[in-house]
Structure 1
Amino acid sequence: MMRAWILPLLLAACGTIAATRLIADGNLGAGAALLTAFGLLAAVNSPLVFPKSISTLEAERRSAVDGRPVVYWRPGCAYCLRLRIRLGLRARRVHWVDIWRDPAGAAAVRAVNGGDETVPTVVVDGRPHTNPDPAWLREQLSATP
């Protein structure tokens, strides 16, 4: 759980330290801008950007019922973030599994990626796809009920 927050906390801390130094030197505008930029970076890299993660077993069960894809991801992954942002509101139609929170999810990803925890790994109709094009996944979501 804590590992998912390391990068956002480091970004927030670095931004706060740098902004404090700028503000102390009398550069209020630059300090505020820097703090805002680091705050946004921390927020975007936090688990809060993604829909609530569920366990691998629950995701597989739900996917079998509704036919929706399962996305295995981890916080701090730029490719996962790209996929999440490009899906937009459609991201709520996907079952998200955080491999850092779910050891079974990490094992499932390693099983289909030659022992590597390469994310995002998307499972559609039982077939895994490593780092798929977001446009392709949007098409898959359009085809599901």
Structure 2
Amino acid sequence: MTHAEAVRAAAGGAVVVYWRKGCPFTARSRLVLGSRAREAVWVDVWADPDASAYVRSVDGGDEVVPTVVIGGRPHTNPSPRVVARALAARRR
């Protein structure tokens, strides 16, 4: 998914995860989330320059992943439990 599509999804209440291949923190989140990970919108910052620029804009110039948008607010490397709670809240 592209950053532009993710922005629209986030406006609709989706949980958006900005990630990149090889990131151990992203891998941990995916592992902890299990099948719930499919409920989030995933955007690879290495595949989309706009996604990379967005992450740097909200993380003080650094490309920190995962950066997760929940309720329209970016969260830098949140606990997987925070993401799981946000996904669960969307199902209610």
Common fold: TM-score over 0.5: yes
Which of 66, 71, 80 is matched with 1:125 structurally?
71
Query: Which residue does 1:134 correspond to in 2?
Result: 80
Matched positions, count: 91
Any idea what SS the aligned residue of 1:116 has? coil
2:36 is aligned to 90
Shift in Å at residue 64 of structure 1? Answer: 1.9
**Residue matched to 2:23:** 77
Q: Write 1 or 2 for the structure with the bigger share of helix.
A: 1
Query: Which protein has the bigger strand share?
Result: 2
Q: TM-score, normalised by structure 2?
A: 0.94
SS at match of 2:75: strand
Of 55, 62, 71, 1:116 maps to: 62
Following superposition, the deviation at residue 136 of structure 1 comes to: 1.2
Please tell me whether residue 63 in structure 1 is matched to residue 10 in structure 2. Answer: yes
How many Å separate the matches in 2 of 1:129 and 1:62?
A: 16
Q: Percent identity?
A: 53
| SS of equivalent residue, structure 2 residue 61 | coil
RMSD between aligned residues:
0.8
Q: Distance in 1 between matches of 2:77 and 2:23?
A: 11
